[in-house]
Amino acid sequence: MLVFIGFSCCEDPGGSMFEDVDLTDIVYDPVNYEPEIPFGFPALEVPEDNPLTLDGIDLGRHLFYDPVLSLDSTMSCSSCHLPELHFQDNQATSLGVDGINGNRSSMSLVNVGFSYNGLFWDGRVQTLEAQALLPVEDEVELHNTWPNVIDKLKQNPFYQEKFRKAFGIENTSEITKELAAKAIASFERIIITGHKAKYNRVQAGLGFFSPEEAKGLDLFEDTSNIESDSLDAECSHCHVAPLFTTNFYENNGLDSVGDNLSLFLDKGRGAFLNDPAQNGKFKVPTLYNVGFTAPYMHDGRMEDLEEVLHHYNSGGKNSINKNANIRPLELNEEKIQALITFMNTLVDTSYLENEMLQNPF
Ligand code: HEC
Ligand code: HEC
């Protein structure tokens, strides 16, 4: 039962009036949750002040899918991070609530909990908790204000109960954007894929690669035992198993700026660090389920994996900070197909059956 405290009223900076509600009648009994980690993955690091609990994850799931976060109640995080599309949107760049296009492509959130070296294409935010605060007020995303969102959540008995159960708060006055962000971060941490990927199953001794997959792996990983040629595709310098990313920021040769690094249209990592030497560098994306997340690259400029592979095969476009592993590869079509076939061993769609990840509305 919810108890209203007398007439104690409060006024927030936005000016709306609402009553604080005592929540201590609702049972707070947090149950820790340990997600299953795919074979070979490192342990999932969780901040001490935001342990994974069933109620925290469930609150985060509701907030992630709830359009209440957007200015006109039409969009949620899931509008650009759709579960059925592996938590991205298959658009080159994403449309926000006002129909304004951002200049970057939505990122797949699969295995984002393992991304410890910065978030976004330029790594400008360190933690999922800090990241989750941003889309609500971003004008090309949800374009709302947190006081607005928190007002609505505080007045909603459904969320009052969810915040109590997730965080043990005693009164609705304790509902804050920081708690909302913690819950969303917990939800994102369990978006884990790879358990059923053929790659991981083979590593665990539960299957075998086909000859074409093995050839693709060989090219990808540079194990250099393909008969009669020693060429490799250099991929694994940056897309390192088991997460298929180093989480570093690299220039993989998308633009031709020569030695004038100020010419990059999107300066990426360099703009964030205010260091021109880092211009044109972007986060190395994971390759899990990559076959489903076209178009590719930070601005969605490539239509399909064939185009990506032809890009790498050509050695990319030149600029002085292009990574040395981006060089002409001289792969024939058969090898290009083998690489694509290998990347398809990183497909695992079974995680989408996990009810804890699904849209609750
Ligand atoms: C309008 C579309 C849109 C909406 C709505 C949106 N995002 Fe995003 N998201 C993006 C884009 C685009 C990027 C990449 C932006 C960049 O690099 O500057 C991104 C990046 C991210 C990342 C970084 C992933 C990584 O691997 O580094 C996370 C986490 C994320 N979003 C979570 C959220 C959450 C949580 C919400 C809701 C509170 C949300 N997004 C709402 C489009 C959106
Ligand atoms: C020097 C590091 C580096 C090497 C080597 C490299 N990549 Fe990448 N890869 C990146 C970076 C960085 C991006 C994102 C670039 C951007 O969007 O600006 C990327 C993007 C991709 C993408 C698009 C993913 C998406 O979600 O948009 C695919 C697919 C890919 N790489 C596959 C490969 C393959 C296959 C190879 C080997 C032929 C390879 N990469 C070699 C760094 C590298």
Q: How far apart are the first and last CA of the chain?
A: 24
C-alpha–C-alpha distance, residues 346 and 196, integer Å? 9
Tally of CB atoms within 10 A around 256 = 11
pLDDT (tens place) for every residue of the chain, 361 residues total: 444 443 444 444 544 567 899 999 999 999 999 999 999 999 999 999 999 999 999 999 999 999 999 988 889 999 999 999 999 999 999 877 777 778 899 999 999 999 999 999 999 999 999 999 999 999 888 999 999 999 999 999 999 999 999 999 999 999 999 999 999 999 999 999 999 999 999 999 999 999 999 999 999 997 665 554 556 899 999 999 999 999 999 999 999 999 999 999 999 999 999 999 999 999 999 999 999 999 999 999 999 999 999 999 999 999 999 999 999 999 999 999 999 999 999 999 999 999 999 999 9
Q: What pLDDT is recorded for position 102?
A: 80
Is the CB of residue 102 below 6 angstroms from any atom belonging to ligand 1?
yes
Is the CB of residue 344 below 6 angstroms from any atom belonging to ligand 1?
no
CA 132 to ligand 1 center in whole angstroms: 8
**Token couple for 352:** 């989408």
C-alpha–C-alpha distance, residues 310 and 274, integer Å? 32
Q: Ligand 2 pocket: which of 103, 193, 297, 339 to mutate (most atoms <8 Å of CB)? A: 297
Burial level of 328, CB count in 10 A (0-12/13-18/19+)? Answer: exposed
C-alpha–C-alpha distance, residues 156 and 257, integer Å? 53
Per-residue pLDDT tens over the stretch 164-213: 999 999 999 999 999 999 999 999 999 999 999 999 999 999 999 999 99
C-alpha–C-alpha distance, residues 181 and 169, integer Å? 15
C-alpha–C-alpha distance, residues 97 and 91, integer Å? 15
Q: What pLDDT is recorded for position 227?
A: 52
Q: For residues 281 and 251, is the Cβ–Cβ distance under 8 A?
A: yes
Tally of CB atoms within 10 A around 233 = 23
Q: Ligand 1 pocket: which of 106, 138, 149, 186 to mutate (most atoms <8 Å of CB)? A: 106
Tally of CB atoms within 10 A around 304 = 13
Contacts 24+ apart (CB under 8 A), 298-304: 298/104, 298/105, 298/121, 298/266, 298/268, 299/92, 299/93, 299/103, 299/104, 299/105, 299/266, 300/91, 300/92, 300/93, 300/105, 301/92, 301/254
C-alpha–C-alpha distance, residues 23 and 157, integer Å? 10
C-alpha–C-alpha distance, residues 341 and 212, integer Å? 7
Q: For residues 94 and 257, is the Cβ–Cβ distance under 8 A?
A: no
Is the CB of residue 104 below 6 angstroms from any atom belonging to ligand 1?
yes
Residue listed under structure tokens 């995303």:
141
Is the CB of residue 312 below 6 angstroms from any atom belonging to ligand 2?
yes
Tally of CB atoms within 10 A around 34 = 9
Q: What pLDDT is recorded for position 1?
A: 41
Burial level of 194, CB count in 10 A (0-12/13-18/19+)? Answer: buried
* Residue nearest ligand 2's atom 41 by CA: 235
C-alpha–C-alpha distance, residues 7 and 18, integer Å? 10
| Residue in 241, 235, 119, 93 with CA at minimum distance from that of residue 185 | 119
C-alpha–C-alpha distance, residues 301 and 311, integer Å? 11
Q: What letter represents residue 134's amino acid?
A: L
Burial level of 205, CB count in 10 A (0-12/13-18/19+)? Answer: exposed
Per-residue pLDDT tens over the stretch 59-104: 999 999 999 999 888 899 999 999 999 999 999 998 777 777 788 9
Tally of CB atoms within 10 A around 129 = 20
